[in-house]
Structure 1
Amino acid sequence: MRTGPQRPTRPPRSRSAAMALAGILAAAVGAVSLVSCGSDDDDSGSAPTGSRTPPDTASFSGTLPSALGSAAESVKASLSARASSASARASEFEASVSAEVARANAAAQEQLKDVEGQGNAMADVSLRGKPRADTGGLLAVVVSITNSTDETASYAVQVDFTDSDGKVVETRYVGAEDLEPGERVTPIAISRKPPEPPLTAKIAKAQRY
């Protein structure tokens, strides 16, 4: 009896052939599946998510300029609306002030027409500016009038609006009637001139009567 290394047994050829055939069938099935997926996408008119290509905006004609034009029109409309709103607020502010002091202002103008110089009450009046945000963009000043006497008195004040050269371009009048001793009131003088060129307000006359 012979002993020694034995040769490894090889699988029968029929088994190897069967394994090879199985691999070929699996590959064929996979290929069929891929073709089927591609056909489904073609039928539906859409490509798989991973294969979608972003549109070439350089080939567009009219869309982008149209969008920019719409945005420009929107901005223009917004600015126009704001301007109209500001004008309306200015008119409302002036109307509310005028309604309250129209008669007193008219009386003040009447009292000052014959006054020589600056009048007898310059020490009883002063000015301070009012923010344009509160007046709809109008130039307005608060005239502070204080009765410094020990008797009831009325006041007439002339406010001049001057340009950068000191030239008077507008005059407004405010008044206060029957102020008790020590009483203070704050009527408002409003310029109707445009914001530009800027103007400066000053008290030109102040008369106590």
Structure 2
Amino acid sequence: MNPTSARARRAVRARAVSAAAAVVVTALGAVGLVSCDTGNDDTGGPAVSERPTAPDTAGFSGELPSSVASSGAAAVESARASASSAAASASAREAERKASIGAEVERTRRQAEGELEDVKAPGNALSDVAMTGKPRADSGGVLTVVLNITNNTDEEASYAVQVDFLNPSGEVVETQFVGVEDLEPGERQQPLVISRQPPEPVLTPRLTKAQRY
């Protein structure tokens, strides 16, 4: 065999293989360019994107999750409890205030009764006390008297007043005591005297004693 001819054939085969490889590489490059194309060309055309996937609505029930619903119910119940507690607290404070006022009125009543126990009518301060009636329409039909007690002296003073209620025969059927304390000179207070007797027969109030002390 001619060595020169063998080498020539091998060179031809090598060139053929190289050409085939170049073709494969070129083809792969073209494929890569196509797959990586963003959709924009030199003309500035819009990019083409894939169609978005529609949400899966199979699990939509239209109801809140149980944990959220429970939290909402708990919040509403807590608000109701707070409102109820606030109302009860306000009611308790009002009851306490009225009880305090009632206790103070009873204390001054007893004080006035004690001051007048040994005082003969009319006392030393009848001129400092005036009495007017309160319309029954404004007092729920109960006989109510308004006392106007004014300290006409130059010194601080307290007052004890006795009011009697007389029936049509002139008999005393009820006696009430009222006291006011520590009035400054010229100061006036207007306590109420309320009869506990029934509306009938009609009673007449009388200012019996007034003592300054």
Bucket of the pairwise TM-score, normalised by the shorter protein: 0.5 to 0.7
Corresponding position of 2:59: none
For the residues of structure 2 that align with 1:154 and 1:185, how far apart are their CA atoms?
11
Amino acid at match of 2:164: D
For the residues of structure 2 that align with 1:165 and 1:192, how far apart are their CA atoms?
18
Corresponding position of 1:151: 155
Is 1:165 the counterpart of 2:169? The answer is yes
For the residues of structure 1 that align with 2:117 and 2:130, how far apart are their CA atoms?
20
- Say which SS state the counterpart of residue 152 (structure 2) adopts: coil
State the superposition RMSD in angstroms: 2.0
Which has the higher Rg, Structure 1 or Structure 2?
Answer: 2
What does 1:46-57 align with in structure 2 at a 5 Å threshold? none
Correspondent of 1:192 among 196, 205, 209: 196
Residue 136 of structure 1: how far off its partner (Å): 1.9
What does 1:79-118 align with in structure 2 at a 5 Å threshold? 98=102, 101-118=105-122
For the residues of structure 1 that align with 2:193 and 2:101, how far apart are their CA atoms?
9
Contact 1:130 1:141 in 2 (8 A): yes
Per-residue Cα deviation, 1:94-134 (whole angstroms, up to 9, x for no partner): 98974552221111011000112310000000111112222
For the residues of structure 1 that align with 2:99 and 2:135, how far apart are their CA atoms?
17
Is 1:205 the counterpart of 2:209? The answer is yes
Correspondent of 1:136 among 125, 140, 161: 140
Corresponding position of 1:14: none
Per-residue Cα deviation, 1:24-55 (whole angstroms, up to 9, x for no partner): xxxxxxxxxxxxxxxxxxxxxxxxxxxxxxxx
For the residues of structure 2 that align with 1:146 and 1:97, how far apart are their CA atoms?
22
For the residues of structure 1 that align with 2:170 and 2:102, how far apart are their CA atoms?
27
- Say which SS state the counterpart of residue 116 (structure 1) adopts: coil
Contact 1:97 1:188 in 2 (8 A): no
Tell me the TM-score normalised to structure 1 length: 0.52
Structure 1 unaligned blocks of 5 or more: 1-93
For the residues of structure 2 that align with 1:175 and 1:193, how far apart are their CA atoms?
21
- Say which SS state the counterpart of residue 198 (structure 1) adopts: coil
Tell me the TM-score normalised to structure 2 length: 0.51
